């Protein structure tokens, strides 16, 4: 630190912290990294440590410019306005975490209330125009990203109230970008990760709440209900065990939800899909169920592209091609006493109906 630690930790105003790596040795490492064309990311918490990092980065930059090469600093608990100007000139990325959310009382003891209230000033970093990436520093602190999202939005802490309300970030979109696409930019993977766009890896999660609208106090309890990595489901919350996932083998995939009896003698499965690659499931068919199913699809104006059995051949899952004006289609066969295939039924559901049905189901 450029100023001594607070109270007894400051040892009468003489203790400023420890230099973990001597400047000369650190400068030599940074120079070598730059000479080799690599990028450096250095952990620096106090402002004196940040000075040491900036001295080394500036020396390296004088030999081979580092701007635009994703050089970064991690943590940046305590910084000074003049340092932001130096960082900006170097084109640095700032990587921040939510240590204050969990450790506020301890940090206040070490640094005093005034400095502790301004720890990790994310709003200042964003206002200065930096690319800021948000993380959790797990396993040092819990890996839950919603803790960090909530803390930077409110500056609230777990045990000691709000620290530095002036540094609260009001834009929820900015915060979401911090923990998604901005981190992908930091690691140089923004062309394949960080956002849901054509051509990327389809890494995404379905959350229990909308982070843009949920009451702030509820954000720490938000959880992932579904998680996909590379377009494949890798996690499903117990509350969504009634949902099943089937890959379509085409441009998009299908998630369907069972919603029970929608018509007399009908047990129907609703299909969530895009307009032209629908999934259709029929229930408890008779021996000629396949032919009956295809006939139903034909009468509905859709073409069966792929069909296969599931659950011990009691059900059919099919991928079909449908007109654009069919938002969601559910096909099923009657489950009357005799399972008479002549009572086959088709129904197309509007987007509004689907919103209501799925909302009640979840």
For residue 273, what pLDDT band results from cuts at 50, 70 and 90?
very low
Domains, the chain, ordered by start: 7-235 (3.20.20.140), 243-361 (no CATH)
pLDDT score recorded for residue 65: 98
For residue 239, what pLDDT band results from cuts at 50, 70 and 90?
low
Q: What DSSP letter does each residue of 244-300 carry, written as one string? A: EEE--SSSS-EEEEE----BTTB--EEEE--SSEEEEEEES--TTHHHHHHHHHHHT
Residue range 161-184, pLDDT digits in tens:
999 999 999 999 999 999 999 999
Buried b (16+ CB within 10 A) or exposed e, 32-66: ebbeeeeebbbebbbbebbbbbbebbeebbeeeeb
Element (DSSP H or E) covering residue 182:
helix 181-186
β-pairing, 72-75 vs 93-96, is: parallel
Phi and psi of 77, rounded to 5°? -60, -55
Percent with pLDDT over 90 in the chain: 54
Higher pLDDT, 315 or 8: 8
In contact, 5 and 15? CB cutoff 8 Å: yes
67 C-beta neighbours (distance < 10 Å), count: 12
Element (DSSP H or E) covering residue 225:
strand 224-229
Element (DSSP H or E) covering residue 304:
strand 303-310
How many CA atoms lie less than 13 Å away from 341 in the CB half-sphere?
A: 14
Residue range 95-132, pLDDT digits in tens:
999 999 999 999 999 999 999 999 999 999 999 999 99
**Encoded tokens for 351:** 């987007």
pTM above 0.85, yes or no: no
DSSP letter for 341, please: G
Sheet with strand 224-229: strands edge to edge: 204-207, 224-229, 232-236
């Amino acid at each position: 630190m450029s100023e001594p630690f607070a109270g007894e930790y400051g040892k009468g105003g003489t203790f400023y912290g420890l230099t973990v790596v001597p400047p000369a040795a650190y400068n030599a490492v940074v120079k070598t990294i730059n000479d080799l064309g690599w990028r450096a990311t250095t952990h620096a918490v106090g402002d004196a440590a940040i000075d040491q990092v900036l001295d080394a980065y500036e020396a390296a930059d004088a030999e081979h410019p580092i701007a635009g090469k994703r050089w970064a600093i991690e943590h940046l608990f305590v910084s000074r306005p003049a340092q932001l100007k130096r960082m900006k000139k170097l084109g640095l990325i700032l990587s921040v975490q939510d240590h204050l959310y969990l450790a506020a009382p301890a940090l206040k003891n070490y640094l005093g209330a005034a400095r502790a209230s301004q720890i990790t000033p994310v709003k200042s970093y964003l206002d200065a125009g930096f690319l800021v990436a948000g993380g959790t520093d797990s396993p040092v602190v819990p890996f839950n990203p919603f803790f960090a999202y909530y803390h930077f939005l409110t500056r609230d802490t777990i045990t000691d109230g709000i620290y530095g309300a002036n540094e609260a970030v009001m834009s929820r979109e900015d915060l979401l970008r911090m923990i998604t696409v901005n981190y992908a930019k930091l690691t140089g993977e923004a062309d394949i990760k960080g956002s849901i766009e054509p051509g990327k890896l389809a890494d995404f999660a379905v959350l229990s709440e909308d982070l843009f609208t949920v009451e702030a106090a509820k954000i720490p309890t938000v959880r992932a209900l579904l998680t996909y990595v590379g377009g494949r489901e890798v996690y499903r919350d117990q509350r969504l065990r009634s949902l099943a996932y089937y890959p379509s083998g085409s441009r998009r995939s299908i998630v369907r939800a069972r919603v029970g009896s929608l018509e007399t003698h009908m047990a129907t499965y609703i299909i969530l899909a895009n307009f032209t690659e629908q999934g259709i499931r029929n229930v408890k068919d008779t021996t000629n169920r396949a032919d009956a199913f295809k006939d139903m699809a034909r009468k509905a104006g859709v073409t069966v592209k792929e069909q296969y059995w599931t659950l011990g051949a009691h059900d059919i899952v099919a991928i079909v091609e449908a007109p654009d004006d069919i938002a969601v289609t559910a096909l099923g066969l009657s489950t009357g006493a005799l399972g008479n295939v002549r009572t086959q039924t088709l129904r197309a559901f509007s987007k509004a109906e689907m919103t209501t049905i799925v909302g009640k189901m979840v």
